[in-house]
Each structure stands twice: as C-alpha cells, then as structure tokens.
C-alpha cells in the first residue's frame, strides 16, 4: 500500500465496521467502497470528525462507519479506495460462518435450529408479557416487576447474549435476567444507558422454546415528564444470540 494511504480499523464485529481513512496524495478522494465476498455492497465517505486522528495525523474529517449486520456469515470483507485499490481485507474464521440453509424447506423448528444467530427486534411484534406498546426503536418493560420474552429455540450450545438497552429506571445493577430459569451473569458492570449488556450463556438441554425473563427491583416514571404516568423499567431495543464454540 502507498505511504500516502493510511487506514485504521477501530471496530469490526457482527454489527459494525468503523475506523478512519486518510488519502494524503488525493485528500478529496475520501470515498470507501465495501465488498462482501468480492461483491460490491455499499459506499461511504470518510468524513466524520476525529479529533484524536487530527492530533496525530493532522486531518479532522476522516472517520467512517459501515453497518454490516445484514452480511452476517460472509467469508471475506474488503474495503477499496476510489481508484478500486484494496486497502483493507478481513477474513472470517470458519467457525463464525453460518452453514448454508436449505431455502426450499418450509419454515420449521428443524430449519430454525440450523441458524447460528438470532436477533429479536422489540420495535416489532414479539411473543411475551409485561411490555408496553411498540415505539420506533423498541419498547418499555412494565408496569409489573417481571417481563418475559418467548423465543423460538435454537439448538443447545454456547451463545453470546447481547441486550441493547437505550434507557432504564429500574437499577440495572440489581436487575436479574434468566434464560430458561438460569440466572445470567453479565460481563460488563458499567450500567450507564445506553448500554449493551453482554454475557456468555450455555444451553445444555433441548427446549420447545426459550424463555428470557427480566426481574426488576423497581420502576418509576421520569421526573422531567409530568405527562408520563407509566411505570417504566427498561427500554429494550434488541436481544441478540450468537453461537460460539466455547465459554472461555
């Protein structure tokens, strides 16, 4: 790669690819194209403000971000500059690639258990109890002290669980979450909203469905909104399960 090109990837996971990109020779060419398994998928401009990069490399507008959640299961990801030069390549580990689904098979539990990943979007209808009506990005738990989501069962195994919580009035430090009656221990303990709580869980038995329960120690209505009389616990946006090979 030319010394005129600088690129740094800050984050790459199941949902996001982000970092910064500098083209010293042609600073006006800040375009980046995303290729998944050698197929063009998206384009963006590296023009987000990055004060940290400006201090080190003298360029403020150089940050970029791609949402890659929809491409889960890819084998190779590439970023190309405006002149089609490959400037970044990322190859998925074999264990992270979903096996191909038989798309001719009608929906069934057998087909569902082929999935390695499941995402529940609470801005859409769910099967559960003690949740307020759908809002644009999710919904509030309440008015009782226990909420439940019933989930189609995946195959038994080890999973990474992520809860995307935008806001709360229930004290997350004392909230208890259970998966199929097993209490979940979250790895991150800084409970400042918005937050994505993360935990590794083991499902050792086959279940007809999975049940995710939230037990709140308290709830309340926001003090700064007199019109809001609902008893609110957590505002949950998404629940995500990713199959992993080990709990270590």
Tokens of 42: 């998206």
Alpha-carbon gap, residue 230 to 220, rounded angstroms: 8
pTM here is 0.58
pLDDT tens for residues 72-83?
778 899 999 988
Are 65 and 17 in contact by the 8 Å Cβ rule? The answer is yes
Q: With 90 as the cut, is the pLDDT of residue 245 above it?
A: no
Question: Which is it for strands 176-179 and 209-215: parallel, antiparallel or unpaired?
Answer: antiparallel
The residue assigned the tokens 């069934």 is 108
Q: Which residue has the higher pLDDT, 202 or 247?
A: 202
User: 129-167 pLDDT, tens per residue?
Assistant: 999 999 999 999 999 999 999 988 888 899 999 999 999
Residue 112 has what DSSP assignment? H
How many residues make up the chain in this entry?
Answer: 248
Of 114, 96, 95, give the one whose Cα is nearest residue 104.
114
Distance between CA atoms of 93 and 73, rounded to whole angstroms?
A: 10
The radius of gyration of the chain's CA atoms, rounded to the nearest angstrom, is 21
- Cβ neighbours around 183 below 10 Å, total: 10
CA distance 203 to 91: 28
pLDDT confidence of residue 83: 86
Tokens standing for 108? 């069934």
- How far is the C-alpha of 71 from the C-alpha of 76, rounded, in Å? 10
Q: What is the percentage of the chain residues whose pLDDT exceeds 90?
A: 38
> Does residue 94 register a pLDDT over 60?
no
Query: How far apart are the C-alpha atoms of 117 and 92, rounded to whole Å?
Result: 15
* Cα distance between the two ends of the chain: 36
What confidence tens digit (pLDDT) does each residue in 100-139 have? Answer: 433 334 444 454 455 677 889 999 889 899 999 999 999 9
């Amino acid at each position: 790669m030319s010394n005129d090109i600088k690129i740094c990837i800050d984050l790459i996971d199941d949902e996001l690819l982000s970092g910064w990109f500098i083209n010293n020779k042609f600073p006006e060419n800040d375009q980046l194209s995303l290729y998944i398994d050698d197929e063009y998928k998206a384009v963006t401009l590296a023009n987000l403000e990055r004060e940290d990069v400006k201090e080190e490399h003298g360029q403020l507008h150089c940050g970029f971000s791609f949402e890659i959640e929809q491409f889960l299961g890819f084998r190779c990801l590439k970023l190309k500059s405006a002149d089609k030069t490959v400037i970044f390549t990322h190859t998925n580990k074999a264990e992270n690639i979903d096996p191909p689904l038989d798309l001719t098979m009608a929906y069934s539990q057998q087909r569902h258990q082929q999935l390695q990943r499941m995402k529940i979007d609470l801005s859409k209808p769910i099967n559960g109890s003690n949740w307020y009506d759908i809002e644009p990005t999710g919904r509030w738990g309440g008015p009782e002290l226990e909420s439940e989501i019933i989930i189609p069962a995946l195959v038994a195994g080890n999973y990474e669980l992520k809860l995307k919580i935008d806001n709360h009035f229930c004290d997350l430090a004392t909230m208890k979450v259970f998966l199929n009656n097993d209490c979940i221990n979250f790895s991150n303990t800084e409970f400042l909203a918005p937050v994505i709580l993360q935990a590794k869980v083991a499902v050792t038995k086959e279940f007809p469905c999975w049940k995710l329960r939230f037990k709140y120690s308290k709830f309340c209505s926001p003090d700064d909104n007199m019109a809001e009389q609902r008893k609110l616990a957590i505002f949950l946006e998404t629940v995500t399960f990713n199959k992993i090979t080990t709990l270590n």
